[in-house]
Each structure stands twice: as structure tokens, then as C-alpha cells.
Structure 1
Amino acid sequence: MSHPGPVEPPPTPWDLPSREQVAAFDGDDDLVAVGADLAPGTVLAAYRRGLFPMPEPARFRLPGRAAPPTIGWWSPARRGVLRLDGLHVSRSLRRSVRDFEIRVDTAFDEVVAGCADPRRPGGWIDDGIRAAYAELHRLGWAHSVEAWQDGRLAGGLYGVAIGGLFAGESMFHRVRDASKVALVGLVELLSDAHAAQRLIDVQWSTPHLASLGVEELPRRAYVDRLPALFTVPTPEGLLRSDG
């Protein structure tokens, strides 16, 4: 029997920018606000407004400050998104898919740890982020899509699912193509009767992601799509079993 859905946490006490304020945010700066906390209600409220958390940029930190960095709330001026019917699967990737087994939510903490590996360039996932998404996972909002090979976790991705929106946070691989295969698995997981109404948010596009079909939406266009996305039911594959 399926769980009826994720558990709604207590609402945030913080006065986050409204969806309308985020949509109207002008200029090319992707950082919209700083502060607040990473409680589940705060993080979910941010996603529902078109924001996501990452530590503040180094340029905002006071010299010599020992305290952890303040949380930054980001909404890219050009948002990277993937429509489910827009995924580009090359012939070589299609062959690679056959070499992996896709699992969902069987190794969430390990996936986040792989994404947070400090040896990776540009790492930003600190202990606070890891704890926050572990709690969102416990409540049924955050999910991992994993590529396994020979009984070992080869790569994967994690993100937050709210209705028809899957907000991807990060991905990693230990075996070539494993993270790409996890993305293919995510698209297949979301490809139900409501597939045309779903959207994968990847935050920022890169040449690599663009080669897979990721497009860019202006901030306002992305934020304006959110209310309709949130009316779409959660995919069955992301609903927990009671047993």
C-alpha cells in the first residue's frame, strides 16, 4: 500500500521573498536573499517560491570570520530546466543504460555523501545542507535516484519532489556514465500520465547538461510555471510504501 504523500512540516517563521517578488527580481544576480534557516518548512517554502539554498558566496563573508557561512537563497536569472520529452539520449548512453540497475531511495545518504565529496571541484554541500536534506528525505520530500553496478553504488542524483516539479540538487558518478544513467532513470520514473505537466529543475545549465536536453528559462517564466506544477500529483514511484 502506498503512502498517501510526503509529510508537511510546520510552516517557516521566516519572511521569505514571495513568489511575485522573486519573479520581479531584476538583473543578472542569481542570489536573491541571505539568512533564515534550513528547517524543512523553510526549505519547502523556498522551493515553492522559486528559490533554493546554497551557502553564501565567499565575497560576502567577513575576513577571518570563523562562524559557518550564512545560507544564501538563489533563483538563477536563467534557470536550467529539462522537459521530460526533451531528454537527449545518445546511442552510447542508451548502451550504457543496460549496464546499470536503477534504484530509488535505497541509499539516499550515500548519494548525498558522494555529491558532497570534498575532492570534487566547486563543492558546496556542507554538513548543514546534508542534515537538512536528510530530514526532507525522512519526511518524504527528498529522493535519490541511484545507478548500481555489480551490487555497488556507481552514481546517482538527489533532489526534492513537489507535485510536478523535481528540483535536482546534485549528481555524482564513480563509474563512467552512471550519473547520466540516473538522470535517464529519473525521467523514466516521472514519465507517467502527467509527464507533459512535469519539469526537472537543474538550477543552472552547463554545456554538459545542454547536451542532454537542458534548456534555460528566464527567472520570471520559471517562477510563473510553479503554481501549475504544484497541482500535479506526486509520481507513484516516489511515494513510500507503508510496509
Structure 2
Amino acid sequence: MASASFLTKSLPHRAITCLPRTPTSSHTRRRFASPRCGPADQAPVNLLTAAQERAGRRAIESSREEPLFHDPYAACLADVEQPVVDAGGDGVGYYELATRFIDEELMEAVASGGDAPLRQVVLLTDGMDTRPYRLPWPSATTVFDVSPSATHNVAVERLEAVGARIRRGCMLRHVSVELSEDGDWTDESWERNLVSVGYHGTRPSIWAMQGLQTLTAEGLKVILRCVSTLAMKDSVFLGELRCSAISDNPQVF
């Protein structure tokens, strides 16, 4: 698996923070000055299987005595043909650290007061992100899940079966993204679809990206272009970024 960077962007400025790929026994959040990039995966990726594997990792972390986060819905999304089993050990991988980091940043952003409280959350996901259901969103928050329908539809069916619901007083909207044949995010139609389901560019927003395993530099540029078009000044863009999305085109940043 390729290593992953962590990107945080406060429009119009941005900075990259990198999370370690190797396991660590500490739950302390770390930041590094520059990305540590590994070789990109060569084999085609089954998006549904990959999303279910990530759900399995969240389920394992949630079952620990002192977890970085608690995802009560992850187990129902994991591959039913491959039971979730903790391999043991106290190591924590970059994905778990990234999940905790994103959770904290989202909660900190929506908790901030001021004249224009942040109540628009846009999640760019693999379709199996449970944050709309498991995080304590303030009342009047609208969460937009932008993800491939193929995985999202599977997730919705399973989540409804276990009674998952977004918090009272909040709204959840799904926006389908059409991936390219190789799984890249080069389709820009989700930009106008996001607006059509209620996103307001005149209101502050926070954007979080995680689980985009097949994202390339070209797809990343499309995402950044869409975010820059839709997000007003002082909005925030953050997330887990595969190094393969920037290693072949460092000029993106």
C-alpha cells in the first residue's frame, strides 16, 4: 500500500501535513513538515472491497481498550466474507491516525462560534464514511457526502438495517461522483450537483477527504478546482492524501 500524506487547507492558504505510514504505539497526533511518499499501487483496486477493508480497520480500532475513535457502525460495513479480526499488538497505522485527526478537526471547526458559525460539512469519501452518523454535529448542520454510488448504496442499506441516523436537527445529503474507468475523480459534475442539493457558496464550509484510494494528481487538481470555486474565504479543506496523487506532479502544490 502506498504511504499517505495529510493535507490541511484554510482557503486561500494551504499547507501539507504528513502522517507516518509505519505503526506507532503512541496515540499522540504527529505532524511532519513534508510528505513521505512511497510507490503507488500497481494493481487495479476493487473500490468496494477497499472501502470494506477500511471499515474493518475502523472496527478493530473501535474495539480497543483505549481507541483513537469510536465507530459503532464500522463492523456492519466490513466485508461479511472476511470477519473483522484484530491481529493483536498496540501499533496504530496512518489510517487510524488520519481518521482521528479528521474527526477532531471537523468537531473543532463546527464548534467555533462567531457571527457565521460553520454548518456546512462536505465529505469526499469512498462511500462508507460513517461520520454523518457517529459524530455529534451541532443543530442545523448539513453534511454532504460526495462519493461513488456503488459503495454508498451498499453502505446505506447496511446502515439503515442497524438503525443509523444523523443527529436530530441536522441533514444529510448524498452527491454521487462518477469515477473514471481507472477510479479517478476527474468528473466535475458533482460540483453543480452539490449546489443542487443545497450547498451554499456564500456560507462557510469545511471539506474533508479520506479513502480516495485511486486518486491521481489529475483527480486531485479537479477536486481542488471545484473546492476553490465553491468554498468562500476562510473555509477549510483537509484530509488524507495518497502520495501517488502528488508524487508524479509535485507542481500541484
Question: What range describes the TM-score normalised by the shorter chain of this pair?
Answer: 0.3 to 0.5
TM-score (norm 2): 0.31
Question: TM-score normalized by structure 1?
Answer: 0.32
| Larger strand fraction of residues | 1
